[in-house]
Amino acid sequence: QKEVEQNSGPLSVPEGAIASLNCTYSDRGSQSFFWYRQYSGKSPELIMSIYSNGDKEDGRFTAQLNKASQYVSLLIRDSQPSDSATYLCAVNGGGGSNYKLTFGKGTLLTVNP
Amino acid sequence: DAGVTQSPTHLIKTRGQQVTLRCSPKSGHDTVSWYQQALGQGPQFIFQYYEEEERQRGNFPDRFSGHQFPNYSSELNVNALLLGDSALYLCASSLGLGFNEQYFGPGTRLTVT
């Protein structure tokens, strides 16, 4: 089983719609969870971090964490063409003092005008 | 507030050569992690430096080595380059050892011919 898995893409949504991105992780000891946005040819940009169960909202973005189900998601409301990018889920922690980020392969999101 | 910087931006090397990549962390950060990102994949953890010591290492051969300087900047060295080392090399900085947010630099695109 892969350590971090993301829903297979690509995902295409119309402008103004809600985009839903999902991620599961295998290490129950994981402590922190992040979503990064990566435009083509660029480096990952941190857009959301979440550390405890529940929802965390920041503008049009909402991260949801369920540690019992080992599941983390990102919702993008009122999607814009500028949101078109690859979204990377990253998990930190687990297995003792393990401070590295483990990434999924990413989900390519396209927002159509 | 200065972000993470990396140099050079692009690099072309020949198989068997050696390369050094450089990173300066975000202002106020003292921990540097290095990642390798192949095309279409999520970043893979190489190693992490804190207080001038390698604290964690991913599944990379000894050809990959690093260093952290007293001003928290860091170098990644790769010896005996292979074609498979062609990738985007990312530096991420964070504050202290822990499950904290990591911020990425723009990356160095290494091509091995």
Q: Which residue, B9, B26, B10, B7, is CA-closest to B104?
A: B26
pLDDT in tens, B15-74: 999 999 999 999 999 999 999 999 999 999 999 999 999 999 999 999 999 999 999 999
Name the band, by pLDDT with cuts 50, 70 and 90, for residue B100.
confident
Shortest Cα distance from A82 to chain B (angstroms)?
19
pLDDT in tens, A36-94: 999 999 999 999 999 999 999 999 999 999 999 999 999 999 999 999 999 999 998 76
pLDDT of res. B97:
81
Are B42 and A106 inside 8 Å of each other by CB? yes
List strand residue ranges (DSSP E) for A17-84, in order. 19-25, 30-38, 45-50, 54-58, 61-66, 71-76
CA distance A64 to B104: 23
Q: How many CA atoms lie less than 13 Å away from A50 in the CB half-sphere?
A: 23
pLDDT in tens, A11-30: 999 999 999 999 999 988 88
Shortest Cα distance from B14 to chain A (angstroms)?
22
